[in-house]
Copies of this chain bind each other. A is one copy, B any other.
């Protein structure tokens, strides 16, 4: 064993420890949102802060730069080892570019701002949020500026890079400008066609939570979820978290409407399948991690939007829900489920948006957050800019800030640069699903029988087991034969919403 080989081993060992701490944090965070009694909140915040400091210390150890350089000079590394070093280096850059005091100040400002937002939103009181939001933004701008030099990009891109490594605004502008041209023309055509179809029959009733839960767990298994390595619980905001080989997903139930939770569970199951399919030999290493938030979102949307809203799957689903709830009739047929799940209705709230109008919500946020981080839009001017932009994109003016710029937690809680990954994920999902179905016509047929094995098999091979071996663009090209291509996404929307496929 040479000294240089030791440097690589030393890094693997350090990042394994980091992975264990992050796994522990994943369970503690899940517990906070599902199990923890309210009075434990302060203590839990302190526990989480302590583990984060320990993780950060592992990455800011002054010897690490030399160890990385030494390992990187090794000639005999395998492609996975080399990619692992690249990902280690990327993690190291993000951790070391920003002074610890700035990280802490930003974290504290975001916690305080989020607290204010929780009352400002229902009161539609943007003025009360403004000072705290301004501080959060200023600290995010400082973080972005600190990272920008090392990453050789703009401050906004540096923030974006933490969620979607390698993403740059030139690519996003091109994608979003394309969609911003397409959607205002496409939406009226969709609505026009929709008006010629019967209105979806309402699927009324009382749907006990325990029955919904059993159905959700059944659909998770149908989609390929391994219940030996994860579980489903309830939280206010659905998420997919937990730890390696221990994926915790959550949903919430409305006993007057099972349809929302059903799709929400399938969405989180898509995330979970990705986590459960990561490369077994690299689970505790950076190269074994999910590729980024855009690919992660694509995996949830492939299940929720591409597979589960397809006509074949709804043919499978309809008799299952009839049997589960002991109901029947026209509202409970596959065609009505399809009309229900593909109903387009422009509205103010992103999380309630349909597949067609969703990108407009994202484009607006992308443009605004980029302008704010770039110093081109003052937080005081956000509400007006929001409403102008919303009108331009969707033809509606939000009646108040609660249904406008106050609706999302992301900005108050410090999540700047995250929004674009939602629509990137939707575009990638369409492209991957298209490639998968071309490669294996059995995929769609399988969905009609509730058989996800062909689809998940393709995703396992081309996405899940690849971890972070390739950069996002290269992963997509390797899987589909071409780089990101919004035309496939547009075609998906046209087929579903104009052709009724």
Binding site for B on A (CB under 8 A): 17, 20-21, 23-24, 27-28, 31, 35-40, 42-44, 46-47, 49-51, 54, 226-231, 243-246
Q: Which residues of B contact A227 (CB under 8 A)?
A: 37
Interface centre among A37, A227, A244, A245 (most CB of B within 10 A): A37
Interface centre among A31, A43, A244 (most CB of B within 10 A): A43
Q: How many copies of this kind of chain does the complex include?
A: 2
Please state if A43 and B245 are interface contacts (CB–CB under 8 Å).
yes
Q: Which residues of B contact A229 (CB under 8 A)?
A: 37, 39-40
Please state if B244 and A39 are interface contacts (CB–CB under 8 Å).
no
Please state if A39 and B228 are interface contacts (CB–CB under 8 Å).
yes
Q: Which residues of B contact A23 (CB under 8 A)?
A: 43, 47
Knowing A27-B28, A27-B31 are in contact, say whether A245-B21 is a contact too (CB < 8 A). no
Q: Within the assembled complex, what's the spacing in Å between the Cα atoms of A21 and B48?
A: 9
Q: Within the assembled complex, what's the spacing in Å between the Cα atoms of A54 and B24?
A: 13
Which of B24, B36, B37, B49 contacts A28, CB < 8 Å? B24
Please state if A46 and B31 are interface contacts (CB–CB under 8 Å).
no
Please state if A246 and B24 are interface contacts (CB–CB under 8 Å).
no
Please state if A39 and B243 are interface contacts (CB–CB under 8 Å).
no
User: 8 shortest A-B CB distances, which residue pairs?
Assistant: A40-B246, A20-B50, A39-B228, A39-B229, A20-B47, A43-B245, A24-B47, A23-B47
Please state if B231 and A39 are interface contacts (CB–CB under 8 Å).
no
Knowing A47-B24, A51-B20 are in contact, say whether A245-B31 is a contact too (CB < 8 A). no
Q: Which residues of B contact A46 (CB under 8 A)?
A: 20
| Subset of 12 A-B contacts with CB under 8 Å | A17-B50, A20-B49, A23-B43, A24-B24, A27-B27, A27-B28, A27-B31, A31-B31, A36-B246, A37-B227, A37-B230, A43-B243
